[in-house]
Amino acid sequence: MDKVVRKALELLEGARHVAVLTGAGMSAESGVPTFRDAQTGLWAKFDPQQLATAEAFAESPSRVFGWYVSRLQTVRRATPHAGYDALVRMAALYPDGFDIITQNVDGLHSRAGSENVVELHGSLEAFRCSACREVFSTDRVIELGEGDGEVSAPACGKCGNFIRPGVVWFGEMLPREVLERATQVAYEADVVLVIGTSSLVYPAAGLPDIVSARGGRVIEINPKATPLTPRVDLYWEAAAGEALPQLVDALQRTEGGKTEGRND
């Protein structure tokens, strides 16, 4: 067994509640561009921060709405990779608690079959009124445009204000209930897997420190070191699609051995 896999198993031994924190690197393996790379065609001339603020939406609703239609269509063409499937299998090994906190807005965890997913920054699959928060059909959004140009933002049928994507824009606070849930997960976790995140964006970047401050263990899986790396119990230098299937295969073999032992 590979040394890094063995170390991960040691850190997970005895854990009852496992948390997973994922970032852009997780979905990039499925072909979803990272936020700053999602600029193609018409959008190549824009800084993404010019398209992800309430001010930008107020100035040009059709431009911002068109960009999000484009992103939604890109995400819907993506397929969850083997790492997502491994997390679904891993959840079955921790019936007392297995939660995923993601900074991604692509919905790939849920599409892969994961439950207990906390979407910190919202979802591209959720559209709502910018004023009264009335929910708007995502399928209807897809019908509005082909995704590589401006799209007229539809009006809310309830109050008449523009429909907006259900994501957290720059300058906006995370929804209180979402942040509270993520923090609760961190306080309950015995181990947290930090996967494919730059560990630069707060408050998400502070969640592993909550786990470690309580005596929990932190395993980081990332092809590149991050500001978190010096503080983790294990740094696994690999992509999620490579590391997670190895880890879960090893966990299942270990669990199988324990079950056989109990049946003897």
Written as one letter, the residue type at 68 is Y
- The catalytically annotated residue of 17, 81, 109, 121 is 121
- Per-domain boundaries in the chain: 1-31+80-121+174-264, 33-77+122-167
The pLDDT profile of the chain, 264 residues, written as one tens digit per residue, is 599 999 999 999 999 999 999 999 999 999 887 766 554 444 455 677 778 899 999 999 998 998 899 889 889 999 999 999 999 999 999 999 999 999 999 999 999 999 999 999 999 999 999 999 999 999 888 888 665 678 889 999 999 999 999 999 988 999 999 999 999 999 999 999 999 999 988 999 999 999 999 999 999 999 999 999 999 999 999 999 999 999 999 999 987 645 444 344
Which DSSP category does 125 fall into?
E
Query: How far is the C-alpha of 173 from the C-alpha of 196, rounded, in Å?
Result: 23
The residue assigned the tokens 């999620």 is: 240
Query: How far is the C-alpha of 249 from the C-alpha of 90, rounded, in Å?
Result: 9
What are the C-alpha distances in Å from 171 to residues 74, 134, 168?
A: 25, 22, 8
Q: Say whether 121 is catalytic.
A: yes
CATH number given to 1-31+80-121+174-264: 3.40.50.1220
- Whole-prediction pTM: 0.91
CATH T-level topology, domain 33-77+122-167: SIR2/SIRT2 'Small Domain' (3.30.1600)
pLDDT of residue 136: 94
The residue assigned the tokens 């929804």 is: 175
